[in-house]
């Protein structure tokens, strides 16, 4: 029996506005506690919230980028519960009339996008003397009221890897929109996952659990994988999955249920009377649209037109750093007088560079796009072999510089026909008499050791095709 995971994500994004969602306090990171507060974000008696125009605009940009339907009128609700990090006894959020609904990013449908306010920070103090032996905490309201956008997907993801990859795509999209720092480690991007499993081929959804506290892309993948395994284990041993919220501990990779409070789900939502409905005008939408950069879907489309493979187009579109680097290299190659490098082969070299860089942003490496374009040109023009080019790339990554100069200085240029190669081929056949015999007897694949000898002797500077031709000629096949 095979099981299929069904995964949906709930992503919280802190917006990089200047001020908080409902008051004029400046956003801050790392400041001493309680220096960015006012009557509103402290929930003082008599204070009233007023929504931040730029936060609404950022949310509209996100909605447009995710191809959502934007509501011309949406309202805020109060979500009522008591917790020390909540200054008013309720969080102002959106409920049944969110700013954006529907939409899609990559292969995943978006359920909704809405605005809300972040909670304050609660710092555990440990046991303190005030009340003997009791466990104390302190609240810092600097973060309280930071604008948040919550993005909820449909349960369209099927593997933990896909979930991670999609989250990276979302991060990159939001980064391009310049609406958030989208940093998981710092908490400006937070992801919860709803996970269930079902028998492959069935349409019905299983009981889902909610995973919290996965504060890196790696942990998202690991947490979901652990939960899928746990659920499959339960079901295969005839037990049931219980609907609950689980806390992921990245250290041990374990999942612990959060103690469920009996009324945890009775949030008594009702329309926030202190805020008038948000009216999204055509002008607001037009202004948000005008600020949209090229988004991954459009970029992938453009790369396909350059005849990049579908995989490469998607990868470069989802990794705008690679896409940007590729485009700069392509511009140099097109403007240069070198060989006619195809877009795909240049893309392959960008991908090779990315892998040598361990997926870091190539723009921050020592390899200039011009250098990579020239290197690709050398290969296409048969000035160097691929094997040599790999070595040169390694040098560029380590030290930077100009590939042609490296080739020149290290005498790495491809060895053409002529006596030098002729002599090496002869020596190679002599050194591998058995192989030579088998090739003569018609076993073409036996040529390997002979060609390998030549490549070793020339340190990869010989063109493999040419060497093969010369060996076969000399052996009379």
Partner 1 sequence: MLDRSEVLHVARLARLRLTDEEVERMSRELSKVLDHIEKISELDLEGVPPTSHVVDVPGGLRADEPRPCLSREEALASAPAVAEGGFEVPSPGL
Partner 2 sequence: MTLLALTAAQAAEQVRAGELAPAELWEAYRERAAADELNAFLWVADEAPASPADDAPLAGVPFAAKDLFCVRGVPSQAASRILEDYRPPYTATVVEQIVAAGAPVLGKTNQDEFAMGSSNENSGFGPVLNPWDRSRVPGGSSGGSAAAVAAGLAPWAIGTDTGGSIRQPAALCGVVGLKPTYGACSRYGMIAFASSLDQAGPLTRDVTDAALLFSAMVGKDHCDSTSVAFPEAVRRPRAEDLRGIRLGVPEELTSEAEGLEPGVRENFEATLRLAEELGAEVEPTRLPHAAHGLSAYYLIAPAEASSNLARYDGVRYGLRVEADGDLVDMYSRTRAAGFGPEVKRRIMLGTYALSAGYYDAYYGRAQRVRTKIAEDFAGAFERFDFVVTPTSPTVAFPLGARTDDPLAMYLADYCTVPMPLAGIPAISIPNGLSEGLPTSFQIAGPAFSENRILDAAYALEQAIGFDGSVPR
Name the residue nearer to partner 2 (CB basis): 51 or 446.
51
Name the residue nearer to partner 1 (CB basis): 266 or 408.
266
352 — alpha (psi -120 to 50), left (phi > 0) or beta? alpha
The beta strands (E) that lie in 187-269 are given as 189-199, 209-212, 245-249, 254-257
Among positions 21, 41, 149, 288, the unique one binding Zn ion when judged by CB under 5 A: 41
Find the part of the chain contacting partner 2 (CB under 8 A) among 3-11, 45-53, 227-235, 413-421. Answer: 45-53
**In angstroms, how far is CA 299 from the centroid of its own chain?**
16
| Token reading at 446 | 């036996």
**In angstroms, how far is CA 102 from the centroid of its own chain?**
22
* 125 touches partner 1 (CB under 8 A): yes
* 125 touches partner 2 (CB under 8 A): no
Helical spans, DSSP H, in 216-319 = 217-236, 282-290, 296-305, 310-318
CB neighbours of 329 closer than 8 A, spacing ≥ 6?
346, 349, 350, 369, 370, 372, 373, 376
Binding mask 58-77 for partner 1 (x = CB under 8 A): -----------------x--
Q: Of 256-315, which residues contact partner 2 (CB under 8 A)?
A: 265-266, 268-270, 273-276
* 119 touches Zn ion (CB under 5 A): no
* 426 touches partner 2 (CB under 8 A): no
HSE (CB half, 13 Å, CA atoms) of 448? 3
CB neighbours of 456 closer than 8 A, spacing ≥ 6?
none
Beta bridge partners of 157: 7
Name the residue nearer to partner 2 (CB basis): 1 or 265.
265
Among positions 30, 45, 419, 442, the unique one binding partner 2 when judged by CB under 8 A: 45
Q: How does DSSP classify residue 415?
A: B
Q: How far is the CB of 173 from partner 1 (least distance, A)?
A: 22
Name the residue nearer to Zn ion (CB basis): 117 or 227.
117
Provide the 10 A C-beta neighbour count for residue 355: 9
* 23 touches Zn ion (CB under 5 A): yes
Q: How far is the CB of 79 from partner 2 (least distance, A)?
A: 10
- Where does this chain bind partner 1 (CB under 8 A)? 17-19, 23-26, 32-39, 42, 50-56, 75, 82-84, 122-125, 128, 130-131, 134-141, 247, 258-259, 262-263, 266, 268, 270-271, 273, 275-279
- Where does this chain bind partner 2 (CB under 8 A)? 39, 42-51, 78, 80, 82, 84, 87-90, 131, 133-136, 139, 265-266, 268-270, 273-276
């Amino acid at each position: 029996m095979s099981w299929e995971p069904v995964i949906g994500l709930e992503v919280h994004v802190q917006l990089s506005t200047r001020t908080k969602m409902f008051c004029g306090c400046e956003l801050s990171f790392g400041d001493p506690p309680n220096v960015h507060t006012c009557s509103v974000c402290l929930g003082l008696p008599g204070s009233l919230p007023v929504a931040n125009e730029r936060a609404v605009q950022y949310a509209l940009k996100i909605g447009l980028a995710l191809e959502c339907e934007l509501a011309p009128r949406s309202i805020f609700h109060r979500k009522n519960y008591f917790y020390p990090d909540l200054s008013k006894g309720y969080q102002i959020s959106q409920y049944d009339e969110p700013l954006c609904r529907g939409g899609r990013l990559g292969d995943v449908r978006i359920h909704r996008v809405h605005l809300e306010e972040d909670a304050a920070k609660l710092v555990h103090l440990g046991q303190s003397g005030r009340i003997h032996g009791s466990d104390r905490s302190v609240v810092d309201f600097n973060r309280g009221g930071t604008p948040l956008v919550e993005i909820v997907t449909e349960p369209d993801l099927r593997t933990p890897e896909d979930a991670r990859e999609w989250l990276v795509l979302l991060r990159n999209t939001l980064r391009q929109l310049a609406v958030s720092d989208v940093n998981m480690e710092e908490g400006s991007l937070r992801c919860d996952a709803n996970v269930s499993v079902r028998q492959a081929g069935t349409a019905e959804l299983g009981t889902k659990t909610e995973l919290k506290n996965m504060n890196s892309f790696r942990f998202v993948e690991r947490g979901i994988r652990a939960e899928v395994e746990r659920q499959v284990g339960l079901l295969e041993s005839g037990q049931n999955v219980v609907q609950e919220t689980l806390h992921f501990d990245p250290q041990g990779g374990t999942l612990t249920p959060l103690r469920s409070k009996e009324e945890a789900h009775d949030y008594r939502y009702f329309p926030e009377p202190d805020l008038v409905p948000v009216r999204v005008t055509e002008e607001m939408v037009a202004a948000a649209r005008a600020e949209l950069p090229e988004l991954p879907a459009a970029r992938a489309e453009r790369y396909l037109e350059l005849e990049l493979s579908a995989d490469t187009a998607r990868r470069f579109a989802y990794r705008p750093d690679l896409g940007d680097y590729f485009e700069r290299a392509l511009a140099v190659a097109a403007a240069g007088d070198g060989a006619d490098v195809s877009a795909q082969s240049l893309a392959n070299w960008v991908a090779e560079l990315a892998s040598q860089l361990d997926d870091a942003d190539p723009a921050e490496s020592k390899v200039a796009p011009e250098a990579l374009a020239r290197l690709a040109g050398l290969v296409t023009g048969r000035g160097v072999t691929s094997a040599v080019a790999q070595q040169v790339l390694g040098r560029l990554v380590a030290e930077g510089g100009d590939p042609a100069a490296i080739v020149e200085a290290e005498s790495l240029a491809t060895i053409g026909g002529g006596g030098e190669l002729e002599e090496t081929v002869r020596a190679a056949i002599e050194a591998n008499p058995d192989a030579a015999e088998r090739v003569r007897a018609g076993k073409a694949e036996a040529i390997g050791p002979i060609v390998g000898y030549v490549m070793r002797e020339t340190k990869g500077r010989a063109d493999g095709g040419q060497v093969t031709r010369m060996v076969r000629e000399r052996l009379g096949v």
